[in-house]
Amino acid sequence: MELMRAHGHEVALFSMADPRGEETPYDRHYLPHIDFKAKAGFWQKVRWAGHAIYSIDARRRLRAMIAAFRPDVAHVRNIYHHLSPSILWELKAQNIPVLYHLNDFKLLCPTYNLVSQGEACEACKGGAFRHVVAAKCYPGVSARVALATEAYVHRWLGTYRKCVDLFLAPSQFVRDKFVEHGWNGDKFEVLPHFQTPHTFRAPKNDGPLLYFGRLSPEKGIDDLLRSMQKVPHMKLIVAGDGPQRTELRELASSLGLANVNFVGHVAGAERDDLIAESRFTILPSHAYETLGKTILESYAEGRAVIASDMGSRRELVHEGETGLLYRTGDVNQLTSVIQLLGSNPEIADKMGRAGWETLRERHAPEQHYQKLVSLYERLVHRKAPRASSDSAARHETLAVVQKRRLRVAFIGGRGVISKYSGIETYYEEVGQRLVQMGHEVTIYCRNYFTPDLAKHNGIRLVRLPTIRSKHLETVIHTLLSTAHALTQRYDVIHYHALGPALFSFLPRLLRRKTAVTVQGLDWQRKKWGRLASAVLRVGERASMKLPNATMVVSQTLQKHYRETYGKSAFYVPNGGILRHRSEPRAILEWGLEPGKYILFLGRFSPEKGCHLLVEAFEHIETDVKLVMAGGSSYCDEYSRELRTHAGERIRILDWVSGEKLDELLTNAMVF
């Protein structure tokens, strides 16, 4: 909330009353405080259970607060028991978009953490919430029954699926786990927590090791204590409190651990000082965890992290870079990694510095704010207008919005008809499908590449000149295409590849929407010199920073963007076409037999490994032939060298398109 206020937004809190909180103008709308852990009679407990499952009072109070504050969006978190999920139905009734922040696994597991008897558990998968009662996953039979009942009620009502517009997951693991449990992944966005790094202080070689967090069975602290028995020359501080406090102290005593010190609960500056005074921190949890904020807090002080290899910790602890992972519950391996970092302080120091840099680059408050605001804006724009009270008129308005005809321009590729590469194939396949859906598509083509046609498969073609130069062709054509596009009334101008992405800001100066699709990191290609590679690196950054939306065609690219820029591009994989075997004609003229050749199709360039394929093929004895179909963007030494291997066994063809391409593909033995 303070982050939003610092950027000038008006933020109001709806909550249960708490004397520890600051006074706000909306306190009168808060629900009266309930201490669910206090002693109470049977009927009082029944009333509390009813309140936790569905609170009519909470809906009424929220309705009054909405009337007073008129929010644009509701950011919902930790509403269980005190507010109850009933408030989601009120937000839906008021047509207020809801972003639901997932701080736990409550929607999958009534006891919040996918934990049973101190170990990770997914017995409730598929809505089998009765396991909470049968497996005694929570203290008190009445509490277990209430938790299971609440989960069943809102599953049957469809509360979360119907009332929440977008779920915000703090890690990719959380999103994947929900999808695994049958939730719609399209309604999830990933946004890790932010954390401000503190002034870096190098760890002391004789400093203690540190565990800080809750003391409960699923945290695996007993594993850590047993490991400390094997490294008596190292000291451990255990900071925290919880239901296992007494049991852990007794275990430490029985193991004779004079090197372990329990300091109780710590927070704020005291916690930060403990981290800074440690050599590194250890998280031996047996539970998945939604993120593991203690890892970020460790990085904030420049400390390496040892963590169990499970759940979201795999995303935050970069193995061998910012810390070390070990098999969950494996005390021997935990001991080994403790000894490794403990006896090599220079490695621990290096990892701590890397964690500090990771935090600064990927978990900065400003990055978090920008992504969060963009999600808010998307939700607000997605919601239907509330202007009309006439239901029929409202549905009619929605229908008009849904059927709106878009005018889209594609810029960056060479054109259509001759399918030179993936971009040109994308132009043809996606372009004609958009046309079939009723949209208007314009493709900007290079005049030497595309025939002089006004339209192709319903797609409008604009042919423009350029200079046939490896370094200037794309730049000049993209600039001319952008200039022409600015004279048109396009709804979206869609750029393709890193070079053209550099120009995606120009339409935005005139308030036009732009998108960029990245098919690969072109600066990695060996054909580019140092200067061109540097420009393409700038293009990569531009592809994330300049357009309204960034799309990538692979999950590897999505991960690269997320790790490099702290933002997640949209993953839109290329489609595929089911092809049936074509009657062999052209391939017979090329001296090929159906099912008797291995096919490579694409650009001849070092990063494609064409030379490796040729070299490997020349070392095997077979009556099957190798066919290399394609070429380079420009005549270069690599392509010429490759063509010297052409002969009876190795056939090297130029670019193939149309029916000949289908024939070559569908009759190949191996692609």
Q: Is residue 400 part of a domain?
A: no
| Number of folded domains that form the chain | 4
Which of these, 288, 276, 268, lies nearest to 219 by C-alpha position? 288
Domain with 525, as residue range(s), is 407-571
Residue 633, pLDDT > 60, answer: no
Rounded CA-CA distance 575/480 in Å is 29
Rounded CA-CA distance 194/567 in Å is 13
Q: What is the pLDDT, as a whole number, of residue 386?
A: 44
Which of these, 380, 423, 384, 377, lies nearest to 400 by C-alpha position? 384
**In which element (H, E) is residue 290 found?**
none
Q: Is residue 244 part of a domain?
A: yes
Whether 409 contacts 490, CB under 8 Å: yes
Model pLDDT for residues 245-276, shown as the tens digit of each residue: 999 999 999 999 999 999 999 999 999 999 99
**Which CATH number characterizes residue 600's domain?**
3.40.50.2000
Domain final position from 511, 544, 571: 571
Q: Are 355 and 425 in the same domain? A: no
pTM of the model: 0.58
Q: Are 349 and 481 in the same domain? A: no
Q: What is the pLDDT, as a whole number, of residue 590?
A: 87
Q: What is the pLDDT, as a whole number, of residue 17?
A: 86
Rounded CA-CA distance 313/292 in Å is 7
Q: Is residue 290 part of a domain?
A: yes
Q: What is the pLDDT, as a whole number, of residue 488?
A: 93
Which of these, 261, 210, 208, 202, lies nearest to 233 by C-alpha position? 208
Rounded CA-CA distance 585/583 in Å is 6
Rounded CA-CA distance 369/365 in Å is 6
Q: Are 498 and 642 in the same domain? A: no
Rounded CA-CA distance 196/364 in Å is 6
Secondary structure of residue 252 in the 3-state scheme: helix
Q: Are 222 and 346 in the same domain? A: yes
Domain final position from 363, 396, 421: 363
Model pLDDT for residues 637-650, shown as the tens digit of each residue: 788 888 899 888 99
Q: Are 564 and 617 in the same domain? A: no
What torsion, rounded to 10 degrees, do the Cα atoms 349, 352, 356, 358 define?
Answer: 120
Q: Are 61 and 128 in the same domain? A: yes
Q: What is the pLDDT, as a whole number, of residue 441?
A: 94
Rama region for 238: left / alpha / beta (φ>0; ψ in -120 to 50; rest): beta
Structure tokens at 179: 């999808």
Q: How confident is the model at residue 583 (pLDDT cuts 50, 70, 90)?
A: confident
Whether 415 contacts 449, CB under 8 Å: yes
Rounded CA-CA distance 523/550 in Å is 18
Q: What is the pLDDT, as a whole number, of residue 403?
A: 38
Rounded CA-CA distance 221/309 in Å is 15
Q: Is residue 371 part of a domain?
A: no
Cα-Cα-Cα-Cα dihedral sign, residues 524, 525, 530, 536: negative
How many degrees, rounded to 5, is the angle at CA 516 between CA 186 and CA 191?
40
Q: Which residues contact 468 (CB under 8 A, 6 or more apart)?
A: 448
Q: What is the mean pLDDT of residues 152-181?
A: 94
Which of these, 402, 376, 414, 281, lies nearest to 337 by C-alpha position? 281
Instruction: For 569, list phi and psi in degrees, rounded to 5.
Output: -75, 160
Q: Is residue 199 part of a domain?
A: no
Q: Are 632 and 558 in the same domain? A: no
Residue 237, pLDDT > 50, answer: yes
Secondary structure of residue 93 in the 3-state scheme: helix
Rounded CA-CA distance 480/485 in Å is 9
Residue 631, pLDDT > 80, answer: no
Share of the chain above pLDDT 70, in %: 94
Q: Is residue 429 part of a domain?
A: yes
Longest alpha-carbon distance in the chain:
92
Q: Is residue 480 part of a domain?
A: yes
Mean pLDDT of the chain: 87
Q: How confident is the model at residue 507 (pLDDT cuts 50, 70, 90)?
A: very high
Residue 76, pLDDT > 90, answer: yes
Q: Are 294 and 356 in the same domain? A: yes
Rounded CA-CA distance 464/357 in Å is 46
Q: Are 505 and 593 in the same domain? A: no
Query: Is 521 exposed, middle or buried, given 0-12, 13-18 or 19+ CB atoms closer than 10 A?
Result: middle
Q: What is the pLDDT, as a whole number, of residue 634?
A: 52
Model pLDDT for residues 49-62, shown as the tens digit of each residue: 888 899 999 999 99
The segment with the largest mean pLDDT, out of 66-75, 272-281, 421-430, is 272-281
Q: How confident is the model at residue 292 (pLDDT cuts 50, 70, 90)?
A: confident
Q: Is residue 281 part of a domain?
A: yes
Residue 394, pLDDT > 70, answer: no
Residue 71, pLDDT > 80, answer: yes
Q: What is the mean pLDDT of residues 641-660?
A: 85
Q: Which residues contact 66 (CB under 8 A, 6 or more apart)?
A: 90, 91, 94, 96
Rounded CA-CA distance 277/201 in Å is 9
Q: What is the pLDDT, as a whole number, of residue 419?
A: 56
Q: Are 485 and 530 in the same domain? A: yes
Q: What is the CB neighbour count within 10 angstroms for residue 364?
A: 16
Domain final position from 543, 571, 599: 571
Q: What is the pLDDT, as a whole number, of residue 211?
A: 98
Q: Are 235 and 136 in the same domain? A: no
Q: What is the pLDDT, as a whole number, of residue 338?
A: 97
Q: Are 159 and 74 in the same domain? A: yes
Model pLDDT for residues 123-147, shown as the tens digit of each residue: 999 999 999 999 898 888 888 898 9
Q: How confident is the model at residue 395 (pLDDT cuts 50, 70, 90)?
A: very low
Residue 228, pLDDT > 70, answer: yes
How many degrees, rounded to 5, is the angle at CA 334 between CA 333 and CA 338?
115
